[in-house]
Structure 1
Amino acid sequence: MGILRRSLLLGVPALMLLLAGCASAAPRGSAPKVAQIPTPSASQTGLSQSLLALQADYVNLYKEVSPSVVQISTSQDLGSGIIFNVQGDIVTNNHVANGLKSFTVTLSNGKTYPGTLVNNFPGDDLAVIHINASGLHAATFANSSQLQVGDIVMAIGNPLGFQSSATDGIVSAVGRTVSEPNGVTLPNVIQTSAPINPGNSGGALVDLEGQVVGIPTLAALDPQLGSSQAPGIGFAIPSNVVTDIAGQIVKYGKVVNSNRAFIGVDVEQVTNNQGQPNGVLVVKITRSQVSQAGLKVQDVITSINGQATPSVQDLTDALANLSPGQKVKLAVTEPNGTKTSISIVLGQLPAGVS
């Protein structure tokens, strides 16, 4: 506020000098000329009212949703979470839980509770933590499939430890596939212009109706800025995925149906003589159907359904957009250099596999 006030004050002398210069050209003793300020038109008045109404929506939205957003602290870091139900289950990102079993959970009113891990699902970067507390304000989750580009959203979380902070933006895109630094690929995510900073992870991305449409998870990095955060490009896991995965963990204690495809192999990166990625080496087969289809250890997968897979990440990204039970064709180079094609029915990604 001090900076804004200073700017306004600095502008006054310039304005005064301009008016004084105009006044000096008038005859001595004559009345100064006074500029007529136009009366606001009906359209301008309507616009002001619309902006005030939108501002009121923002204020009410924050008041409604912020009690459902918590801060999750560990011995290493902190992040955010959403109260999933009044029984004390809290959904957050798996990278916020970070392999730990116990946490300190701080509600928006400042009360703290010990939290314990219920379970996680690394494949979708989600985890559920439980606290024993009463009077909790559970969030309401929207149907994220109805989101449209241009929808206004607010991100509520604890960026850099500033508890219960809010930023706003729009839905910039839907259906993105993004990869996290740890190699986890997230399909069908929401891209938003609402600033996503460290500590926002696991928090709430909400629409103007106060419903959670996604969980802010990561921000894009700009190589031209020294791999620092690119402003206005953040990504959130859609609420339909959140309610499905967290709901299974709450109900069964684990994920029983991931709806994510996988081949059933452990792989390593292959490079060519120039050190460039050149395919994905099969080092272990974990699903019997894969062996039955003809894929063997030491085979190199070079494409799936015609999509080149020079790197492990390329293969992971391709699988993220396929479905369990789908039949795919793998281009394979055998150890003796023979190139062949193998058809495989994809399995379902089990819990604990990313």
Structure 2
Amino acid sequence: MDVSRGHARTPRRLLPLTAAACAAALVGGCSADGDAPVRERSTQAAAPLAANDLQDDYRAVIKNVLPSVVQIDAANSLGSGVVYDAAGHIVTNAHVVGQEKNFEVTAATGGQPVTARLVFSYPEQDLAVIRLTSVPQGLKPAKFGDSAAVDMGQIVLAMGSPLGLSGSVTQGIVSATGRTVSEGRTGGGTGATIGNMIQTSAAINPGNSGGALVNLNSEVIGIPTLAATDPEMGGGSAAGIGFAIPASMVRTVADQIVKDGKVTDSGRAALNITGRTVLDDDYEPAGVAVVEAPANGAAGRAGLRPGDVIIRLGDTDITTITSLSEALASLRPGDKVTTTYVRGTATRKAEVTLGEM
């Protein structure tokens, strides 16, 4: 699948029932006056009430979270961001900030733009933190939720500035979790391979990147980052398939940047090699050739050296640099993994203790 930039279950609200209505629901057809069943009338009445309740929930979430969402204008790009703390730190995507150092930030609720400066960009996870030179009144830090509690079917709202339309909100569900997605380098992408992403049906369009994916508890559960593209549509976005970086990873990266001005512990596994994709005799991708393998790196310590071609990592076939990155995205530094590689005409295996990116 090509991509481009862009269990906190909320309890169901139960409608109050009178004793008579409860009895009617149980026996399925009694009524006080012998006319139409009470159950039928109460069901018809419940539908618009339930819809109104959900609508009220949406409005409450938008009122709570939108003051924590901003539009970020850089010299060559436009995106969104989420207020991280009261000191004016804003978390966004690395591909939104690009190579820029200075930005104009406008609250989704309106007001005059405020200048901001880059604190640190971490393209490997497509995250960045910028800081406002002054914090406008009414801007408030977002509340981040528990990524581990996110589940399929959960209703979510995406907030940001799609196509420059500041303060826009789209609605959908969590359609999958645990996705590993690779971002292209075209159009300003970082080329990052990101694991454990949230897939959502909420519309993610250019400008949504860096904004907020929010549950009905008014918690940010992810940062919308990518939208799937359909090659058969000329690279246009595939409707209803977007991806967000989970809140747990956002907090891990942002906390380090705010505290230390950089990422000091990525938590991401690496073989510590420089590699390139190689082709077979039919010009099909056939593995990753090791270009450099420092002796103190994970692969080097396990005996791999330049010229070796990695063809398997654990149970995963490796054909390209991207497939290697995706395999590593599901692992952690310190994990031991059997690496299959070709040296000359011989196929060999080595147990590699993974390093850190």
Q: Same fold per TM (> 0.5)?
A: yes
Amino acid at match of 1:46: A
1:304 to 304, 309, 313: 313
1 or 2 for the larger relative contact order (CA 8 Å, sep ≥6)?
A: 2
Indicate whether 1:140 and 2:137 are aligned: no
Indicate whether 1:206 and 2:209 are aligned: no
Offset at residue 223 of structure 1 (A): 2.3
Alignment deviations for residues 239-268 of structure 1 (CA, whole Å, 9 cap, x no partner):
111111111110111111111100000001
Indicate whether 1:158 and 2:168 are aligned: no
Indicate whether 1:179 and 2:182 are aligned: yes
2:173 to 149, 170, 173: 170
Amino acid at match of 2:325: T
Partner SS, residue 41 of structure 1 = helix
Amino acid at match of 2:74: T
Distance 1:247 1:281, change over 3 A: same
Give the equivalent residue in structure 1 for 2:78.
78
Give the equivalent residue in structure 1 for 2:255.
247
Give the equivalent residue in structure 2 for 1:319.
328
Give the equivalent residue in structure 1 for 2:301.
292
Partner SS, residue 153 of structure 2 = coil
Distance 1:287 1:250, change over 3 A: farther
| TM, length-normalised to structure 1 | 0.85
| TM, length-normalised to structure 2 | 0.84
Contact 1:80 1:201 in 2 (8 A): yes
The structure 1 segments of at least 4 consecutive aligned residues displaced by more than 4 Å after TM superposition are none
CA distance in 2, matches of 1:293, 1:92: 37
Alignment deviations for residues 92-150 of structure 1 (CA, whole Å, 9 cap, x no partner):
01111112211111112232111111112222110000012233311000001101111
Give the equivalent residue in structure 2 for 1:98.
98
CA distance in 1, matches of 2:271, 2:98: 26
Offset at residue 287 of structure 1 (A): 5.6
Q: Which moved more, 1:278-287 or 1:197-206?
A: 278-287
Indicate whether 1:282 and 2:290 are aligned: yes
CA distance in 2, matches of 1:320, 1:302: 17
Unaligned runs of 5+ in 1: 1-38, 350-354
Amino acid at match of 2:332: S
Partner SS, residue 47 of structure 1 = helix
Indicate whether 1:328 and 2:337 are aligned: yes
Give the equivalent residue in structure 1 for 2:234.
226
CA distance in 2, matches of 1:75, 1:223: 29
Contact 2:295 2:301 in 1 (8 A): no
Offset at residue 286 of structure 1 (A): 4.0
Give the equivalent residue in structure 2 for 1:5.
none
Contact 1:266 1:286 in 2 (8 A): no
Tell me the matched-pair count.
310
Contact 2:77 2:97 in 1 (8 A): no
CA distance in 2, matches of 1:232, 1:283: 40
CA distance in 2, matches of 1:162, 1:341: 53
Contact 1:264 1:287 in 2 (8 A): no
Amino acid at match of 2:177: V
- Aligned residues: CA RMSD: 1.4
Partner SS, residue 288 of structure 1 = coil
Partner SS, residue 237 of structure 2 = strand
Give the equivalent residue in structure 1 for 2:41.
41
CA distance in 2, matches of 1:172, 1:224: 22
Offset at residue 209 of structure 1 (A): 1.1
Contact 2:117 2:133 in 1 (8 A): no
Amino acid at match of 1:50: A
1:258 to 266, 271, 278: 266
Amino acid at match of 1:75: A
Partner SS, residue 325 of structure 1 = coil
Give the equivalent residue in structure 2 for 1:18.
none
CA distance in 2, matches of 1:103, 1:69: 15
Larger radius of gyration: 1
Offset at residue 184 of structure 1 (A): 1.3
Give the equivalent residue in structure 1 for 2:127.
126
Contact 1:305 1:328 in 2 (8 A): yes
